[in-house]
Amino acid sequence: MDLALALLLLVILTALVFEFINGFHDTANSIATVVATKVLSPTQAVMLAAVMNLLGALTGTAVAKTISSGLVDTDVVHVSSTVLICALIGGIIWNLITWWRGLPSSSSHALIGGLCGAAVAAADNNWHALVWSEPAENWTKSAGLLWKVVIPMVTSPVAGFLLGVLIMGGLMAGISSMNTAGGWLARISRPRWVNAVFGKAQIGSAAYMGWAHGTNDAQKTMGIIALAIFGAQVSGTLDNLPDWLQFLHPGGGEKDIDTWIIVTCALVMAAGTAMGGWRIIKTLGHKMVKLHPINGFAAETSSATILSVAAHFGMPVSTTHSISTAIMGVGFAKNPRALKFTVIERIIWAWVLTIPAAGGIAWGLVRMLKHYGLGFQ
């Protein structure tokens, strides 16, 4: 086995490690509310999330195509296996740091930051290696970092917050109207009944959240693996594959994601999800605002809707951002004073630092390897 092929296999392995870590790191984001409201036990919630992540990851490839062909200009920089390994390691290191500190930072942005930092370093700090903006008549077809990363990074948290306020406000208004109406409507609007009804409804919203998480997050690693295989195909690395590796040949065009990539990433994310991430559950589910089943239902429904819409348009948005801001929106609708702004400030700092931190780590790794002549011609 030659070195180029060995590096390609190492990229795939590293990408799957990232997917596994993403599973247990971001599990907390998709199930924190259903655990915090005591509707499901942690074990039940993790198993539900694992199954729904798997189903979601098997649905669509729009986000994977954005990662594989929409962010780095392969005419300017050769995205080698070494570059991708450094990108993934940058994302993994930052994910583990924030996981250990209990900060719900974005795995999506860690991966994107790592990819951008590694690409710029490989291009000898030529920033044209990144696809900044490719506008289209239909804005949903626009490509590049501006349209697929920067704008969604700003708008998805705002949308999550506003949708959380809207849904929670609507539910509170409905319950208030029922209470005012009197009779049997007033009886079923009492807290005991409301908690019972939304305790059941939250199982559905948690499943929706898990599915939406799979549709967006699992696809990012699919894109990295596809990008590595496309590069290997162009460079001739796949010309003389042994029989047991023939499946590596791309089955379609440059923007197609092979079935084996989709299924493998889905299964690995589900396995990672089953490991859980209880440190972040504590921050999201307990420290920002006290939650009841109706609050959890509103937050999960809001966040899952944002993720589903973004995945449809191929935007790799952050599960962390959407659920965190949805919880903030729900808390704000209940009582603006209920929000714990010191915790929110820590989370915002983690958001702000993720792309440059992961990118900086990946950039440093690539520059170090180039300095010592390792992995680069």
Write the CB contacts of 331 (distance below 8 Å, at least 6 apart in sequence): 288, 289, 295, 338, 339
Tokens of 115: 């990819």
Tokens of 12: 């795939």
pLDDT at 171: 92
From the CA atom positions of the chain, what is the Rg in Å? 22
319 Cα distance to chain centroid: 5
Is pLDDT larger for residue 95 or for residue 201?
201
Hey, what amino acid is at 62?
A
pLDDT tens track for 48-67: 888 888 888 888 777 877 77
CB 58 within 8 A of CB 143: no
C-alpha dist (Å) from residue 344 to 14, 319, 347: 32, 16, 5
Flag the least confident range among 4-13, 77-86, 188-197, 358-367. Answer: 188-197
Positive or negative: CA dihedral 272, 163, 59, 311: negative
pLDDT of residue 278 exceeding 80, the answer is no
pLDDT at 191: 80
pLDDT of residue 116 exceeding 90, the answer is yes
Average pLDDT rounded to a whole number, residues 161-173: 93
pLDDT tens track for 313-347: 888 888 777 888 888 898 889 888 766 676 677 66
Residue 8's Cβ-side half-sphere holds a number of Cα atoms within 13 Å equal to: 22
For helices 107-122 and 341-371, the axis angle rounded to 10 degrees is 30
Length of the chain: 377
What's the N-to-C CA distance of the chain in angstroms? 19
| CB burial readout 67-84, b (16+ within 10 A) else e | bbbbbbbbeebbbbbbbb
Place of tokens 């300017």: 76
CB 273 within 8 A of CB 46: yes
Tokens of 211: 């599915």
CB 321 within 8 A of CB 351: yes
State the Cα–Cα distance between residues 65 and 343, nearest whole angstrom.
35
pLDDT of residue 253 exceeding 60, the answer is no
pLDDT at 285: 47
pLDDT at 362: 96
pLDDT at 187: 79
Is pLDDT larger for residue 367 or for residue 325?
367
pLDDT at 259: 83
pLDDT of residue 367 exceeding 90, the answer is yes
Average pLDDT rounded to a whole number, residues 137-166: 85
pLDDT of residue 288 exceeding 50, the answer is no
pLDDT of residue 227 exceeding 70, the answer is yes
143 bridge partner residues: 134
Flag the least confident range among 120-134, 179-193, 359-373. Answer: 179-193
Element (H, E) at 302: helix 293-312
pLDDT tens track for 13-49: 988 988 887 777 666 666 777 777 778 877 787 788 8
Place of tokens 């915002």: 348
CB 269 within 8 A of CB 218: yes
Task: List, in sequence order, every beta strand (DSSP E) within the chain.
Answer: none
Average pLDDT rounded to a whole number, residues 244-257: 73
pLDDT of residue 280 exceeding 70, the answer is no
Average pLDDT, the chain: 82
